[in-house]
Structure 1
């Protein structure tokens, strides 16, 4: 994945959407782990990662600075404590801005989806840091054919409004086009380079659907790159790159 994304020094990468944000964040961090000093954090809340997913952990913002001048490469996970649900609480934007210059790359989960494969957005989300260099929007292609209901869609009413759809209607490719292109959709608060990652392209059926979606999206030409593939199986393909 890292070979398809060109990140500048001290870059902040913000991940939004649903259907693989946390997995994408740690997969990308793992690929960079031996080469760079990487900060992994959130501006919302995430489940605590397993110990093999990081090299250093800090959950007290008064201690963030203890790692600033370390030369050790690896994955540094920062958070502002653990809540009652056992989730790592996100960093305040000012803390994130102060921290990121001490790391080669900062990867931020900037959106919540309650582990649902697709979502709509409230006015206050996603929480994208103002210094973000690249926004990666995650989209799960396997949602096509699933019902628009609370089991499958986080903030289902917002999703229906954005996509001009109805409860219990089947999600179709047109809904995904609307969700990506709508000003209140996937890239509503995006900053910097905009990369769409279409996840769960794990068979010929989903590859065909993903390429159909790409063809429809590039007509609007508002996205800098579209990558399709599978985080689970670690295969990725550049489907579109703006000249």
Structure 2
């Protein structure tokens, strides 16, 4: 089946839209009910579902850090990578807009007080008030781990490739279980850009952490994978 770039971008837009709406939505709409563990599973399950929903169309990157890592390892062209990233960011912004609209349906909702699931560092951005440097290191390391799982589970040398979505989804869940108290967990620039554009303030000021950190981590993860898998 021949898939056009526009079809791939629609898949990336939709996949990122679902990830941000359901992941950030779990924090904003259901956080008091499900807690950090529930939020972690919401992000992981969103990715798992989208792998099987759009993975056969676009590869289900739904994350600029993954796309850049795939570009660095020769798995995607520069033209496609650029288009993917635009679609991912657009999907995240659209999801944040929908989430904001839904959240306003509750009388006591306040964008300033309740936010949109934006990532943060320091005080008051970090849920447990971790410093900027702690947040940056966490984003680099967690993204690197995530990308090793992504590359490894989707490798042609992996005989269990049919279960790639499960491995990727559970890896993201694990990363959120550990990392939510530090930054809220990004490991995905698009996921951070969408909410930050609406929340503004410190979310915008510290947005670079959630762009630079995941990109470095993505490149590092791709490099680690290449050390042991000559796919």
Provide TM-score, normalisation by structure 1. Answer: 0.29
- Report which of the two has the higher share of strand: 1
RCO (CA 8 Å, sep 6+): is it higher in 1 or 2? 2
Provide TM-score, normalisation by structure 2. Answer: 0.30
- Report which of the two has the higher share of helix: 2
